[in-house]
Amino acid sequence: MKLYIPSDYRAQLAPETMEQAIKMLKSAFQDELSQALNLRRVTAPLFVLSGTGINDDLNGTERAVSFSIQDMGGAKAEVVHSLAKWKRMKLGAYKIAPGYGLYTDMNAIRADEELDNIHSLYVDQWDWERTVTAGDRTLDFLKGIVEKIYDVLRSMERKIYATYSHITPLLPEKITFIHSEDLQKQYPKLSPRERESEAAKKHGAIFVIGIGSRLADGEKHDGRAADYDDWSTPTTGGRKGLNGDIILWNDVLNSAFEVSSMGIRVDKETLERQMDIENCTERRELLFHRMLLQDRIPPSVGGGIGQSRLCMYFLRCAHIGEVQASIWSDEMVDACKENNIFLK
């Protein structure tokens, strides 16, 4: 069992007040995010048909929870991991112009998660996607989007402080951009997670650029599927990638704390290149991939922002089970209870 227990931990809010704060945070965040990025809300599926290439493969190894549909001749459906590809298809279906996009409440089940303070079988996030032009596929454009999202995060922290004045703001005024290649050079003896923690502790909030391609040491900072984020396009100084993660320093957990994975999505050229790199060219025949290769899906930028993760951070919780209902082992529930961490 992986579990971090902060010393002398006490929840900042009583259970009934915690529920009110969660509701306020979720409502306010989606409203401000939609205004900042020109997004409109859409309804999202909980599951999609297997074999279409629409479901997100995450790192490319996680199993999707699946079931057969009796009324469709036993066709197989699978619970979504995220909606990275589904959203792109909807941008095209709704003919959303560049500069505008959509967001949705995404709920997922990830059966292969290793459960700990921040990982649950149940995933809730705001999945968002925005149409761009071919000329927007640059690192500067991506940074501009990240800064808009970060401004919303800081606004949420101020709202919490205005209502619960004992929860004081911690986020720095600006987010720091760091490429994964530079992190590897700065901390060559540390693992990617350890590098993130060192940088997040130093800066308070970072955006790690270029996640998915191999670094100078031959390893990846982290895995990314070949067919949604662009992690292979050259940028500057021999670096690659038009994607990344927003990571905050978490004082309660004394560690780096990822709240969003996002990026400029693959175009035709990048999709072909990354499928070749990852030896998964057979995906060209799947529905999503055929549509993209046939120019039936617009270029876009998008990502996911963890709802429970944000609530954890802003309400200074030690475990994601304090802000969402899920399933935990008896061992974890008991260990948490002994240390004043009460899981839902």
> 3-state class of 331 per DSSP?
helix
Alpha carbon 312 to chain centroid, angstroms:
15
Is 56 annotated in the active site? yes
- Alpha-carbon distance of 221 to 224, in angstroms, equals 10
Query: Which of 245, 267, 278, 322 does the annotation list as catalytic?
Result: 245
Query: Which of 30, 32, 34, 56 does the annotation list as catalytic?
Result: 56
Is 274 annotated in the active site? no
Which runs of E-coded beta strand occur in the chain? 39-41, 47-49, 66-69, 75-79, 101-109, 122-131, 176-179, 205-209, 243-250, 255-264, 300-306
- DSSP-derived secondary structure for 142-207: HHHHHHHHHHHHHHHHHHHHHH-TTS-----SSPEEEEHHHHHHHSTTS-HHHHHHHHHHHHSEEE
The residues, any chain, with a CB within 8 Å of residue 175's CB and separated by 6 or more, are 146, 147, 150, 205, 206, 207, 246
Query: Which of 82, 125, 180, 274 does the annotation list as catalytic?
Result: 125
Query: Which of 182, 230, 258, 267 does the annotation list as catalytic?
Result: 258
- Alpha-carbon distance of 152 to 175, in angstroms, equals 12
Do strands 300-306 and 205-209 pair parallel, antiparallel, or not at all (unpaired)?
unpaired
Output the CA–CA distances (angstroms, integers) from residue 228 to 18, 27, 109, 249, in the order listed: 35, 28, 20, 27
Query: Which of 34, 57, 82, 110 does the annotation list as catalytic?
Result: 110
Is 110 annotated in the active site? yes
Could you count the other beta carbons within 10 Å of the beta carbon of residue 14?
Answer: 9
Query: Which of 30, 261, 307, 326 does the annotation list as catalytic?
Result: 261
Q: State the virtual CA torsion across 256, 257, 259, 265 in degrees, nearest 10.
A: 40
Q: What are the φ/ψ torsions at residue 72 (nearest 5 degrees)?
A: -125, 35
Is 158 annotated in the active site? no
Is 245 annotated in the active site? yes
Catalytic amino acids?
Answer: 56, 110, 125, 245, 258, 261
